[in-house]
Amino acid sequence: MGKKDDGQIGVVAALVRSTFLVNAVYAESAREYGLTSQQGQLLCVLMVQPYGMSELGAMLGLAKSSLTGLVDRTERNGMVRREPDPQDMRAVRVALTRQGGRLAGEFYAETCRRIEKLTAGLAAAEHDTLAGLLGRVVLDNEVPVVFLEPDEGAPADHKR
């Protein structure tokens, strides 16, 4: 079921196995920066802007209690802070601290570099085809923007 007769794997196996591959690279990079994978994801999401807890939960696919624990631990490590939501004084938004912004920028750049290396064996046209096809799958399934292309990266103040 996993392999076709011509030695190639099918789309389902390829997508699942590529997810494991990217997750492994992400986890290794996170460990080297003293982060968990989830903390790395949180920092990368927050590079764009602060988000409310419900928005973060939806983007990261976490239940409220799991997200609260993640934000609590990341806040204790000085990487994020809770701030009042200007639109709703009962709510809070989570934002990067200066330290968190620096760490997020470094982690993001290194993780992008490592993930980019995964496709080093592809010709330029194959690279473009892969990006186009995966991009369609992501857009067709309305996957939240949790990671940007390196050239779309973080706001300028987090790139320093």
**Full set of structural domains in the chain with CATH:** 11-159 (1.10.10.10)
Specify the residue for token string 């209690």.
65
- H-type alpha helices, 33-123: 37-46, 53-60, 64-76, 98-117
Angle 64-76/37-46 helices, nearest 10 degrees? Answer: 80
Reported as a single tens digit per residue, the pLDDT across 23-72 is 999 999 999 999 999 999 999 999 989 999 999 998 898 999 999 999 99
Q: Are 33 and 107 in contact (CB under 8 A)?
A: yes
Rg (CA), the chain: 18
The encoded tokens of residue 48 equal: 């764009």
96 forms beta bridges with: 80
Nearest to 50 by CA among 3, 99, 22, 92: 92
The predicted model scores a pTM of 0.81
Average pLDDT over residues 86-104: 93
Distance from C-alpha of 46 to C-alpha of 77, rounded to nearest angstrom: 15
Identify the pLDDT of residue 5.
Answer: 60
Averaged over 75-95, what is the pLDDT?
A: 92
